Amino acid sequence: MSEPIIQIRNVTKRFGKVAAVDNVSLDIAAGEFFVLLGPSGCGKTTLLRMIAGFEVPTEGQIIIDGQDMSRVPPNKRPVNMVFQSYAVFPHMSVADNVAYGLKIAGVGRAERDERVREALALVSLNGFEDRKPDQMSGGQRQRVALARSLVMRPKVLLLDEPLSALDAKLRAQMQFELSDLQDQIGITFVTVTHDQDEALSMASRIAVINKGEVAQLATPSDLYEYPANRFVADFVGSVNIFEGKLILDEPDKAAVDCPGLGKVYLNHGVTGPHGADVWVALRPEKIYLHVPGEGKAVQAAAKDAPEGHNFARGKIKGMSYLGDITLFEIILDSGAMIRVSRPNLSRHDQEDFTWDDRVSMHWRADSPVVLLG
């Protein structure tokens, strides 16, 4: 990782007796797309506002580009912020909105016009200079807000829930556009969101925030595949979680006895005490469905797990067809419920399953994650 442009050192923010941010330390690298992810009220927006200078830490230190920000007001920091509401001026044209910060800073007309043209080109709004915000779509207004921030040439761009006001299809499109824009201009983006899909699709690294603390800091793939604790496993993506006891733990293998799921075998150790109470997390897309009675699940599980491990049986009690995948809710023979997602790869040559069908399941030994209590 390159040198950090933002260093957050033991930062706490209290409102009365409540610690909205509690002793957080983070380094954010120059040129990184960094996401603060968490549920409403977890402290992520408060942390972003402290970086911007709109809130003052109760304790700790924030350093941006090598300078302590303790006594630096928001307008003197090398950052710019895109607000959740975009905050574009409705009575001004697009060009005047984008030029506003430059005008306040005393930048001359010729340079101002040139920088506005550059910023609008970056966000693909060439030719929109004379339009008013009410003549534009939500996605276009968001681009105006982005251009207005980028025209100031900040070293860090802060974005507070930048896509929350957009519909689902436009939000998915803008995720790619924001990621491409950040890659093109190369400055640091720090974004706040509660939307896990948004975070996973855009970020180079994600800090999951829970109750004012960093629950886990990781790349999107590591966060999803190797959650550090139950909160992260539950919050990021869909997951099945079963309680169990650790009955085997060696450097290259482990096993957990889960009353609800059965015996679970892993092809790596988990460094937990023998007999410890643990949780097993298993993503729905990691589970394979089979027609029962043919031994397919047992045979498939036996390829990388001992006999009697990594398979289960049950009955389909719910289905949801979503086009690219079908989601199943299955009541296991133990009485526990498990969710399975299955890609709809073909219209004709996949096994069909429907309500109340008996099914068998298996999963690979590298699919489960053991979460220590």
pLDDT at residue number 327? 97
The domains found in the chain, sorted by start residue, are: 4-233 (3.40.50.300), 239-372 (2.40.50.100)
Give the three-state DSSP class for 353. coil
Question: Where are the strands (E) in 204-350, listed by range?
Answer: 205-210, 213-218, 240-250, 253-258, 262-266, 277-282, 287-290, 311-321, 325-332, 337-343
pLDDT at residue number 58? 97
Tokens 């919050």, residue? 235
pLDDT at residue number 82? 87
Q: Would you say residue 48 has pLDDT above 90? A: yes
Q: Would you say residue 301 has pLDDT above 70? A: yes
Q: Would you say residue 27 has pLDDT above 90? A: yes
Neighbours of 267 (CB within 10 A): 14
Report residue 163's pLDDT band, with 50, 70 and 90 as the boundaries: confident
Q: What is the mean pLDDT of residues 305-317?
A: 96
Q: What is the mean pLDDT of residues 312-334?
A: 96
Separation of alpha carbons 332 and 352, rounded Å: 19
Separation of alpha carbons 214 and 263, rounded Å: 32
Report H helices in the chain.
44-52, 94-104, 109-122, 138-150, 168-185, 196-202, 220-225, 230-235, 296-301
Q: What is the end-to-end Cα distance of the chain in Å, rounded?
A: 31
Q: What is the mean pLDDT of residues 63-90?
A: 90
Identify which has the larger pLDDT, 67 or 170: 67
Edge-to-edge strand order for the sheet containing 311-321? 287-290, 358-363, 311-321, 325-332, 337-343
Strand partners of residue 370: 280
The per-residue pLDDT of the chain, averaged, comes to 93
Backbone angle region of 166, left / alpha / beta, with phi > 0 → left and psi within -120 to 50 → alpha: beta
286, 341 Cβ separation under 8 angstroms = no
pLDDT at residue number 142? 83
pLDDT at residue number 348? 67
pLDDT at residue number 178? 86
Identity of the highest mean pLDDT range in 84-93, 319-328, 339-348: 319-328
pLDDT at residue number 129? 94
Q: For residue 359, give Cα distances in angstroms to 235, 291, 362.
A: 28, 5, 10
Segment 276-289, tens digit of pLDDT: 999 999 999 999 99
Q: What is the mean pLDDT of residues 112-126?
A: 91
Separation of alpha carbons 185 and 201, rounded Å: 18
Segment 226-257, tens digit of pLDDT: 999 999 999 999 999 999 999 999 999 999 99
pLDDT at residue number 88? 85
Give the three-state DSSP class for 121. helix
45-59, 127-141, 156-170, 318-332: range with lowest mean pLDDT: 156-170
pLDDT at residue number 169? 79
Whole-number percent of the chain with pLDDT over 90: 75
Report residue 24's pLDDT band, with 50, 70 and 90 as the boundaries: very high
pLDDT at residue number 349? 59
Write down the pTM of the prediction.
Answer: 0.91
Question: Who's near 108: CB < 8 A, 6+ residues apart?
Answer: none
Most distant CA atoms of the chain, gap in Å: 79
